[in-house]
Structures are given as structure tokens and as C-alpha cells.
Amino acid sequence: MKLKSAPADPPGWETLSRETHFENAHLSVADVEVRSPNEPKTRHWTVVFRKAAVIIAPMTADGKLVLVRQERIPIRAAIWEVPAGQVDLAANGDDVVDGYNIVALRELREETGYEVSAGGEIIPLGFFFSSPGFTDEQGYFFLVRPVEPGADGPAHTDSESILDCRAFSPEEVTNMIASGEIRDANTLGICAKLVADGFLSLHA
Amino acid sequence: MKLKSAPADPPGWETLSRETHFENAHLSVADVEVRSPNEPKTRHWTVVFRKAAVIIAPMTADGKLVLVRQERIPIRAAIWEVPAGQVDLAANGDDVVDGYNIVALRELREETGYEVSAGGEIIPLGFFFSSPGFTDEQGYFFLVRPVEPGADGPAHTDSESILDCRAFSPEEVTNMIASGEIRDANTLGICAKLVADGFLSLHA
């Protein structure tokens, strides 16, 4: 895995040691010893380092959200979720190959076959941490609107297993969240952002 | 780490092999080979196995959410989030030591010092996957209402670093989500569930 070569400590934080136990193309597991701004004692922690991801809310002109149904091996289930993908780092380990906007639009096209309409926009909505108790993984949220089916259709890669793709109304999304059919952090997270930002209404 | 000794495959799924690369009290990293219902070819995947967690939305009688500000070593930052904690497994590896409801109420008390009021209720809101592309980690959501400060105050454990605890109005929570001050999957996820279930309104 290409990690940023020496992630700089934020002000007040000091990484005293980092012992890597396992590393492959997808993740790196290390024990770190850290001093933080608010604890006199140093602490040891097991951290899983991961690339950042982009997470896309594709919204149609009539306000529907485009979701994909995807087999996820770690949970051995197929679930409905927003399209998303990892952001690859350049060979030097410090730069990304493409900007996050470009990756978001590419993942949208590859996973759903939808594209941003002429005159449409891509709106960055900040980022979140998927599980900050054990991993540094960050997901960057983007709203893309309006979207429409492209001429070429989706282009799924070998590692993905996307079974279906469909646009859902806000009422359908609300019911799928309430029933637990939507049950992944990416989709719940970007829905909370869209609601707080005024781009989506979820009515119980 | 105490993993369930032999996690049964769901219908249509078959785990052909599992090679563990690293394991400690917090996580287990393995390469699995899996056959899924919709792919003729078997696939290899790196999975991080984790205990389940409980995630609590403590709501006061006047509709505020109680959050804690906590240092998180994997992201080297202190963030405002809902209380949460891992669910310990029994020595046999198959049973949990305490029911999820009990763990949720204990984590609430330990992290915030708040308790459920007399006549209050704990409402299970389902679960989510924090990052189903690489980990099986699940978080079980609970709404506890109404809550009030207990007589004993919080009881923080050594591994936690909770700096602050405060109740926030729905308007404040909305602004914190929109600004990115709230930026973890647990808090965004439970807020989306609360909104879809009609327990919380986020107004932009």
C-alpha cells in the first residue's frame, strides 16, 4: 500500500513510534505510540491505515438518489448504497493520481452509468471518518446534480460486484433507512450531510 | 481477539479459506476466499474482523442530544460524537457477556454521566456497517430518552480520553453536521436513522 511517506503530526500530537504488523495493497496495520495534547502519558494503539475514499450522492433532476446494489465480501451480503471508490495515490506516495472531483465523477460513471448533465454541478460536502476508534479512513462526500443515464452505461471492474442500479425518491430512501435496508455508513453519512445542508428532506 | 469461533455463511455464500495475518485484542486481519451468490468465480479479499459496537443517542427531555468530545488516536484529533463502545464476547467466543441494551446504558453512564430517567425508554434502531468494503464491524443504534445527569458523574476508563460532554439542540447539531464539526460515521449514521424514524428534525 502506498501510504503518505511521513504523515505530519497535527499541532500538539506526537507519533513516537510506529511498528507495522501487516501491509498489502489495501491496508496497513500498525501499533503506534502517540502523545496527545490532553494526556500526559503516551498511549499505544493499533491503527488500520487506509486510502481515502470518495462518496457520491447522484441526484436526478426530479430529486431522486441513484443507488447501486453491491455484494460486499467482508459482510457477506448485497446492500443498496451510494456509489463510492478509493482515491489512488501517486508513485511518490504523497500525491493523488487524480483530483477527488475527477475520481468522484469517474466512480459515478463506472458504477452507475449515470453522468452529470450539461450545466450540472459537483458540490463538495466535506468528509467523515468511517470508524475513528481503529482506522484513519476518510470518505469525502460529493453531491452531483442533476445526473442522467449516460450513453455508454456502467463499466464495472473485476473487483466489484454490482448487481443493480436504480433511482429512489426521498420517500423511498426514508423508508429504506428506517427499515434497515440502507445500512452502511457511506449512505447514512451522506444522507445526514444532505439533510443538514438542505439538499434532501427525509420525512418519517 | 475473541472471534465467533466459526461464523456461519449466509445462504448462497461459502467461505473456502481464511488465512489470518495479524490478530490482537482489538482486531483480526485475514485473507478470505469466498464464493458469493452472484459471481461464478471465487474471490480473495482482505478483511478486518472487529467486535460489534453499540452507538447511543442520549436525548434529554427538551430534545437535546448529549455528545462527548473525545481524542481519537487513529485520526489524531478530538471530535464531538455520540457515546459508543464495543460489545465484549464471552470466553466461549460465541456469546456476548452482556446484552446490547445493558452495554448501551453502561457506556452512556460511563462516557457522559447521564442516565435514563425514571420511566424512560431505550429504543433499538437497527444497525449499520462502518466500512463494508474492508471490515465486518457493525454498530447497533439505540435511542435513550429522556436522559438526565446521574448522581455519580462519568467514569472514564484509561483507554478513553473524553475531554468534554454537553447537550446540543437539534439546530446546533444541524450546524455542526453542516460545518463538518461532527464528522464521524457513528454520529452521522444515528442522526440519519433518527430523522428517518421521526425522532429528530434537522433543519438547514
- Residues of A with Cβ-Cβ distance to B175 under 8 angstroms: 196
Predicted pLDDT at B115: 97
- Show me where the domains of chain A are located: 14-49, 53-196
Question: Distances in Å between the alpha carbon of A187 and those of A104, A111, A169, B75, B175?
Answer: 15, 15, 14, 21, 20
Max distance between CA atoms of chain B, in angstroms, equals: 59
Does B145 score more than 60 pLDDT? yes
Tens-digit pLDDT profile for residues B66-77: 999 999 999 999
Q: What is the dihedral of CA B190, B192, B195, B196, to 10 degrees?
A: -110
The predicted model scores a pTM of 0.95
By residue count, chain B amounts to 204
Residue B145 CB neighbours (<10 A):
18
Predicted pLDDT at A153: 83
CA distance A116 to A59: 9
Rounded mean pLDDT of B105-120?
A: 96
- Residues of A with Cβ-Cβ distance to B133 under 8 angstroms: 53, 72, 74, 84
Locate A10 and state its grid cell: 497535527
- Residues of A with Cβ-Cβ distance to B163 under 8 angstroms: 38
Instruction: Give the closest-approach CA distance of B106 to chain A in angstroms.
Output: 18
Tens-digit pLDDT profile for residues A78-89: 999 999 999 987
Locate A37 and state its grid cell: 495534547
Check: CB of residue A190 under 8 Å from CB of residue A55.
yes
Q: Tell if the CB–CB gap between B184 and A132 is shorter than 8 Å.
A: yes
Which residue of A192, A202, A204 is in closest CB contact with B188?
A: A192
Rounded mean pLDDT of B180-204?
A: 96
Question: Distances in Å between the alpha carbon of B35 and those of A72, A73, B6, B47?
Answer: 12, 9, 17, 15
Does A45 score more than 90 pLDDT? yes
Q: Which residue has the cell 467466543?
A: B93
Tens-digit pLDDT profile for residues A64-122: 999 999 999 999 999 999 999 999 877 766 677 778 999 999 999 999 999 999 999 99
Check: CB of residue B149 under 8 Å from CB of residue B105.
no
Tens-digit pLDDT profile for residues B41-100: 999 999 999 999 999 999 999 999 999 999 999 999 999 999 999 998 777 666 777 789
Q: Tell if the CB–CB gap between B161 and A39 is shorter than 8 Å.
A: yes
Q: Tell if the CB–CB gap between B184 and A21 is shorter than 8 Å.
A: no
With CA atoms as reference, the chain A residue closest to B164 would be A38
Q: Tell if the CB–CB gap between A127 and B45 is shorter than 8 Å.
A: no
Angle among Cα B180, A123, B78 to the nearest 5 degrees reads 15
Mutate to test the interface with A, among B128, B142, B157, B203 (most CBs of A within 10 A): B128
CATH number of A53-196: 3.90.79.10
On the question of a cis peptide bond just before residue A74, with omega within 30 degrees of 0, the verdict is: no
